Amino acid sequence: MKNIEITAVDSNFQREELNHYFGFKGGYLTELWQNIVSIKSKKGFEGIGMATQSVLYGDADVFTSTSESNGNALMYVLTNRALRKIVNRQFENPIELLDQIIPELHNEGKEITGKVGLNINFLYNALLSVDNALWLLYAYENDISTFYEMIPEAYRRAFSFRNNKVALMYLLSYDTTLEDIKKAVAEGYFIFKIKTGFPGRPEEMLQKDMDRLTEIYAILKDVKTPQTPDGKVYYTMDANGRYPNKELLAKYLEHAKTIGAFSHILFYEEPFAEENNEDVSDLGVLIAADESIHTEADAYKKLSLGYGAFVLKGIAKTLSVTAKIAKIAYDHAIPCICADLTVNPVLVDWNKNIAATLQPFPGLNMGLMETNGDLNYKNWDEMKARHPYSGEKWANVSNGVFDLNEHFYKHSGGILLVPDYYKNLFKHK
């Protein structure tokens, strides 16, 4: 592959308001900043990458330590520090370049936020727009026209599948109404992602989580679907690291057994804080690791603790980091899921490309991902209209899935075509 020289960089952002307070990880969001960057090469190519910033996901302590807007501003500053570091540098592929700048940038992130133990997910989220722009530049410079070709050969086998369908995990946040759940069932959704880890002390959190599962199960217990081999509707849970220990989680799972919901649990995602090193192989349910996997070493550690699935966040932790984790999962026959960050419609298809090309999720015979922007953004329809293929069948959910076809794979969900709307943000340069 060619050596690519970066000659100019620029950045911009847009604030997108949410329909309502969006709760997870013990906190609530009211808006999400869309972070957009431009990176130009010596040969005249331009990569325009974007990110949806989520400070609450990146580091909940930073989120709670300041105002929501200031937290976003801090992350945006870190993005621009990254741009400043890469201008006038050369790279062969984005993975190589990010590996070079991440250690120093992590230290700068600690200075910017004032947090010595800054979670590296904060940095990854800040780097996402930069990483996306670098991948586009890499594709343009090397005359690459598909997502699969864009992945370096060392990681390509992990992304070598072509799923005909990608199932959608329908997000049930703390405040999703029971009427909205019934509406989702009527629309054909069959996998429901339940946000656990309600605000409050551990025992208070557990009680609220159990009560929430009880009311959700009362609605879903008799629902059947033609989309799964056994006709069952499934649930996943995501605590975003809120549970302090395995003992408390076991109580939640015991409650699920008591009410009859346990057999519907597909997996439980990231139950514990990152410092928790308890073995989870005896919990009787698939446990998936998400936030706690930052590096390849973290992935191997989770495998040793009995974690049986990885949650990939190519739209939060960068494609460069995700490719490494996906390779380890493939090598160890570990299933993967693609989670959301309430991203914009263009980033939905970055995520969809990953989910579409991973091995089918066991028991479902299709890929598995989450997207919830349509439920949460006030201006979702306007944002969706900017997508280059917004009218295509594969770009729209039908009966709880994205039905994929040759057009999707040929055009890689449109991710290599930057919408004019975003190009025009840098037109004055």
Looking at the structure, tell me whether residues 263 and 292 fall in a common domain: yes
Burial 323-353 (b: 16+ CB within 10 A, else e): bbbbbbbbeeebbbbbbbbbbbbbbbbbbbb
Share of the chain above pLDDT 90, in %: 94
**148 in a structural domain:** no
H or E stretch at 11: strand 4-24
**Structural domain that includes position 265:** 153-421
Model confidence band, residue 22 (pLDDT cutoffs 50, 70, 90): confident
3 state DSSP class of 174? coil
Average pLDDT over residues 420-428: 88
**427 in a structural domain:** no
What is the model's pLDDT at position 175? 87
**330 in a structural domain:** yes
Looking at the structure, tell me whether residues 162 and 112 fall in a common domain: no
Rounded to the nearest 5 degrees, what angle is found at the Cα of 374, between the Cα atoms of 273 and 341? Answer: 25
**180 in a structural domain:** yes
In single-letter form, the type of residue at position 30 comes to T
Counted domains in the chain: 2
* Residue 49 to residue 37: CA distance in whole angstroms: 5
DSSP character string of 48-72: EEEEE--HHHH-HHHHHHS-HHHHH
Looking at the structure, tell me whether residues 137 and 157 fall in a common domain: no
Looking at the structure, tell me whether residues 35 and 131 fall in a common domain: yes
Helical H segments across 313-360, by residue range: 319-331, 345-357
Of the candidates 143, 162, 186, which is a domain's last residue?
A: 143
Q: 303-347: per-residue pLDDT in tens?
A: 999 999 999 999 999 999 999 999 999 999 999 999 999 999 999
- Asked if residues 332 and 303 have their Cβ atoms less than 8 Å apart, the reply is yes
What is the model's pLDDT at position 428? 61
Looking at the structure, tell me whether residues 63 and 184 fall in a common domain: no
Q: 161-219: per-residue pLDDT in tens?
A: 999 999 999 999 898 999 999 999 999 999 999 999 999 999 999 999 999 999 999 99
Model confidence band, residue 365 (pLDDT cutoffs 50, 70, 90): very high
pTM of the model: 0.95
Q: 112-159: per-residue pLDDT in tens?
A: 999 999 999 999 999 999 999 999 999 999 999 999 999 999 999 999
Of the candidates 143, 171, 198, which is a domain's last residue?
A: 143
Looking at the structure, tell me whether residues 201 and 242 fall in a common domain: yes
Share of the chain above pLDDT 70, in %: 100
**426 in a structural domain:** no
Looking at the structure, tell me whether residues 167 and 295 fall in a common domain: yes
CATH of the domain at 397: 3.20.20.120
Mode of pairing for the β-strands spanning 165-172 and 191-195:
parallel
* Residue 106 to residue 85: CA distance in whole angstroms: 13
Of the candidates 103, 47, 113, 45, the residue with the CA atom closest to the CA atom of residue 77: 113
CATH of the domain at 36: 3.30.390.10
**336 in a structural domain:** yes
Q: Which residue has the tokens 């120093």?
A: 104
Looking at the structure, tell me whether residues 359 and 220 fall in a common domain: yes
Looking at the structure, tell me whether residues 307 and 212 fall in a common domain: yes
**134 in a structural domain:** yes
C-alpha dihedral over 2, 348, 74, 92, to 10 degrees?
Answer: -10
